[in-house]
Amino acid sequence: MASTGPAPPQPTLDSPEMLLLRSETATDEKPWLPSEVWLPQCKRGAWGSGVGVGAPIKALFNVGRLPHSCAVCKRGGLTGTKLTQCSRCKLARYCCKAHAKAHWATHKLCCARLSGLRKPDSREAWARSLVDVRLALAGAEPEAHEDATQLWIHMPRCAVCQDATRPLKRCARCQGAAFCPDHADATHAAADCDAAMLEVACFGMISDMGAPLAIASQSKARGPLPSGWKAYLDMKIWDFEVPEYILALAPPTAMLTEGLSLPLLAVRFLGGARETRPRFGSLVVHVVGAATPELVALHRFRELFAWLDARELRLVFVGPDLRLDGPDPEDTKEVLQPGEPGGDKTPFYFSGHRGAYHDVRPTLPDDLKTPQIVLAQHSGCHDLSLVHSWRPTLDLLLDMDVPCVFTGYNEFEANADAAILDDRGANFLAPPHLNPFRGLRPYSEVPGAKTPFYYVNQYALCVHGRRPPPAGESAS
């Protein structure tokens, strides 16, 4: 059916037809346009233009390395940018001298330690090489670890055999996957190609904006929380402070869902999906094991008011690594204060506390002490290095009569968290399951993972108190 006439005019991204296409092609799996049409729109920003970078990505959102992109601005093959590599470690990549210089302040902490290491040439060598990296970093500054680990696990390598020592040919479409000479004819799955492109483009949008898009919808929803993102976006796409056509683009939608994932998880487990809207007086939400990047745009938690009736929201963040002194002072007040962004007048208070939850909770004022729900986002309570410090917190949470939601980036993490909780006698309200409101922004997994990408809050589980001892067993 080859056509000889002129190609029909393509609708622009700003046109209503495009919005229609978005909702017609969207599913809960992929509520974005599964095609490249959004890429030209991304490229209209500073990221694509190649002229400077609008706002430098804050260090907080710049931790993720990408194999074929500049370490600073994430430009690469997708925008036609030529990259040079760090001459010493040959791992970090840069679009220009200025960005190499800007990265050096942190990169110098690990560059020399990495430069002596053998790059892996097979799947098996990957696992061993991670041990080598850990040994090489012994005694290094904490900042060096994150940079080095990210550079290493996102090292350019063959997508089939994981060989990182030979010349690679990149996928011409996504510029994310690469193949060694033995696998030069190999291709990767279309869904993975889409995800790789989206991952890079999300970093590009953040590069333009300085920070991820994290906002809440503006008005009360007419019905209960729907079953997943497609229904959510069909219902709410007109209800954000940014123009709808922005949300018709894949990267902003991916970031929007990432920001709303945790608030909507709270809504789900507070009964927001029921026909009758749940009512609360003062709604207290505890976020335990909170990390500093989670402090971004706290007013996204106003999303709770769209689905629940509450007189006020009191949001309490507690985490041993919580840095409350910056870098975004607007979002990181230690004192309680009403927040009123978006014209919504329902009082919203935030209180952040650095420390372990079992130490902090007894010191909280009475009006903050008793939450209606506890959220443990990517707690890592199964992690060997954290399991000891989490134990007293888990026991406290199970003793409190309150639903506690745990999330993991992938199935493995959620199952491992569940095993730890089960061990401590937890009563499961919901076993580990794929979260319908997981973030939709893809992140490359480590080599050898079950799936090529992971997502924020991809898996979730909910526990509430302890299960009763089996009949006949006496309490000890």
Enumerate binding residues for Zn ion (CB under 5 A). Answer: 70, 72-73, 86, 88-89, 92, 95, 99, 111, 158, 160-161, 163, 171, 173-174, 177, 180, 182-183, 193
Smallest gap, in angstroms, from Cβ of residue 110 to Zn ion?
8
What pairing do the DSSP bridges indicate for beta strands 373-376 and 403-408? parallel
Q: Rounded to the nearest 5°, which phi and psi values hold at 178?
A: -140, 160
Q: Cα dist. 74→82, 173, 394 in Å?
A: 12, 16, 38
Smallest gap, in angstroms, from Cβ of residue 25 to Zn ion?
19
- C-beta of 56 vs 342, nearer to Zn ion: 56
| Residues in contact with 377: Cβ distance below 8 Å, sequence separation at least 6, in sequence order | 262, 287, 289, 290, 294, 407, 456, 457
Q: Cα dist. 328→202, 211, 286, 337 in Å?
A: 20, 10, 21, 16
- C-beta of 157 vs 353, nearer to Zn ion: 157
Rounded CA-CA distance 204/201 in Å is: 5
Smallest gap, in angstroms, from Cβ of residue 323 to Zn ion?
26
Identify the H or E element spanning 192.
helix 190-209
- C-beta of 99 vs 314, nearer to Zn ion: 99
Smallest gap, in angstroms, from Cβ of residue 132 to Zn ion?
16
At 295 the three-state DSSP class reads: helix
- C-beta of 121 vs 294, nearer to Zn ion: 121
Rounded CA-CA distance 360/352 in Å is: 10
- C-beta of 6 vs 167, nearer to Zn ion: 167
Smallest gap, in angstroms, from Cβ of residue 409 to Zn ion?
22
- C-beta of 151 vs 418, nearer to Zn ion: 151
Contact 168, 178 (CB under 8 A): yes
CB atoms within 10 A of CB 34: 15
- C-beta of 217 vs 444, nearer to Zn ion: 444
Q: What is the DSSP letter of 57?
A: P
- C-beta of 70 vs 397, nearer to Zn ion: 70
Smallest gap, in angstroms, from Cβ of residue 226 to Zn ion?
32
Amino acid identity of residue 281, one-letter, is: G
Q: What is the DSSP letter of 300?
A: G
Query: How many Å is the Cα radius of gyration of the chain?
Result: 23
Looking at the chain, the number of H-run helices and the number of E-run strands are: 16, 13
Smallest gap, in angstroms, from Cβ of residue 140 to Zn ion?
14
Which candidate, 439, 198, 391, 208, places its Cα nearest to that of 289? 391
Identify the H or E element spanning 387.
helix 387-399
- C-beta of 198 vs 216, nearer to Zn ion: 198
Smallest gap, in angstroms, from Cβ of residue 434 to Zn ion?
24
- C-beta of 174 vs 315, nearer to Zn ion: 174
| Residues in contact with 255: Cβ distance below 8 Å, sequence separation at least 6, in sequence order | 202, 205, 206, 212, 213, 214, 441
Contact 244, 329 (CB under 8 A): no
Smallest gap, in angstroms, from Cβ of residue 138 to Zn ion?
18
Smallest gap, in angstroms, from Cβ of residue 327 to Zn ion?
20
- C-beta of 164 vs 213, nearer to Zn ion: 164
User: What percentage of the chain's residues is helix, strand, coil (to nearest 5)?
Assistant: 40, 15, 45
- C-beta of 84 vs 370, nearer to Zn ion: 84
CB atoms within 10 A of CB 134: 13
- C-beta of 61 vs 280, nearer to Zn ion: 61
Contact 366, 336 (CB under 8 A): no
Contact 374, 463 (CB under 8 A): no
Q: Cα dist. 94→83, 84, 218, 345 in Å?
A: 5, 5, 40, 46
